[in-house]
């Protein structure tokens, strides 16, 4: 636990429009907490005690069904808010967040949210934009699952990961955190078997390059053609 310097976070979308003094005041109420790789930040159905901004690392957010099936909701990258269940009118977290690498987050108690937004309306406006863009993402996913064959969905999922957390390297775009074929299956509503078959075929064609929990996209343009259904 330590106070966070304003310079680390002042450019985050969440804090846009906040005066420096207001941001300092808000940061004084935050804790900075480390989450070792593999640990959970919060659990589905647990009381939504805190809200968070990820400073470093990557998280996987996943929902478990009553009959034990798991779906990846999204990955959280640095700079993003998460765990804002309480701001959305929920008393509990709708999903589990787990660190896929060693991660650090700013943590505020949920109880101060009403006071924070009453004092800093820009926070509510910024949060609304964040939640709105997640809603668009979720609807895009519903549309893809409703209308697209699985190969196109997998291509879309990889392109979104590349956009969210892609790092340009010599051979292409590296997705910058550990991601498994099982993760991709849980992001696209298909089975590990199907994802393995698709990725192996793409590897043979030189489109992507796999590895232990690593995915690199060698030919983003060709993957885009597959996603759009214009290349088989």
Least distance in angstroms from the C-beta of 232 to its own copies: 14
Please identify which residue in 34, 90, 115, 193 interacts with its own copies, judged by CB under 8 A. 90
Closest among 50, 7, 13 to 125, alpha carbons compared: 13
Q: Is 21 exposed, middle or buried (0-12, 13-18, 19+ CB in 10 A)?
A: exposed
**Binding to its own copies in span 130-149, by CB under 8 A:** 131-136, 138-139, 141-143, 145-147
Q: Which is nearer to its own copies, 7 or 69 (CB)?
A: 69
Does 225 sit near its own copies (CB under 8 A)?
Answer: no
Neighbour order of strands in the sheet with 31-35 = 31-35, 103-109, 50-56, 81-82
Piece in contact with its own copies (CB under 8 A), picked from 44-52, 88-96, 154-162, 192-200: 88-96
The C-alpha atoms of residue 221 and residue 219 are separated, in whole angstroms, by: 5
Q: For the chain, where are the E strands, in sequence order?
A: 31-35, 40-42, 50-56, 59-64, 70-76, 81-82, 96-99, 103-109, 166-169, 172-175, 208-209, 216-217
Does 89 sit near its own copies (CB under 8 A)?
Answer: yes
Q: Which is nearer to its own copies, 4 or 179 (CB)?
A: 179
Distance linking the first and last C-alpha atoms of the chain: 52
Does 71 sit near its own copies (CB under 8 A)?
Answer: yes
Binding site residues, its own copies, CB under 8 A: 63, 65-67, 69, 71, 73, 84-85, 87-90, 94-95, 114, 117-118, 121, 124-125, 127-129, 131-136, 138-139, 141-143, 145-147, 186, 188-189, 228-229
């Amino acid at each position: 636990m330590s106070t966070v310097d304003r310079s680390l976070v002042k450019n985050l979308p969440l804090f846009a429009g906040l005066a420096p003094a207001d941001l300092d005041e808000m940061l004084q109420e935050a804790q900075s907490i480390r989450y070792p790789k593999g640990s959970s930040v919060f659990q589905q159905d647990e009381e939504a005690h805190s809200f968070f901004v990820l400073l470093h690392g990557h998280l996987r957010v996943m929902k478990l069904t009553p009959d034990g099936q798991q779906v990846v909701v999204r990955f959280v990258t640095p700079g993003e808010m998460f765990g804002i269940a309480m701001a959305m009118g929920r008393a509990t977290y709708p999903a589990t967040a787990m660190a896929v690498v060693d991660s650090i987050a700013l943590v505020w108690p949920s109880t101060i949210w009403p006071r924070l937004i009453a004092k800093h309306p820009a926070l509510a406006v910024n949060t609304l934009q964040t939640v709105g863009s997640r809603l668009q993402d979720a609807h895009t996913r519903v549309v893809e699952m409703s209308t697209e064959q699985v190969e196109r969905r997998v291509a879309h999922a990889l392109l979104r990961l590349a956009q969210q957390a892609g790092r340009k390297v010599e051979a292409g775009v590296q997705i910058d955190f550990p991601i498994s074929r099982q993760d991709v299956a849980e992001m696209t509503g298909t089975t590990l078997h199907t994802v393995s078959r698709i990725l192996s075929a793409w590897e043979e064609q030189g489109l992507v390059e796999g590895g232990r929990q690593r995915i690199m996209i060698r030919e983003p343009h060709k993957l885009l053609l597959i996603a759009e259904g214009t290349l088989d």
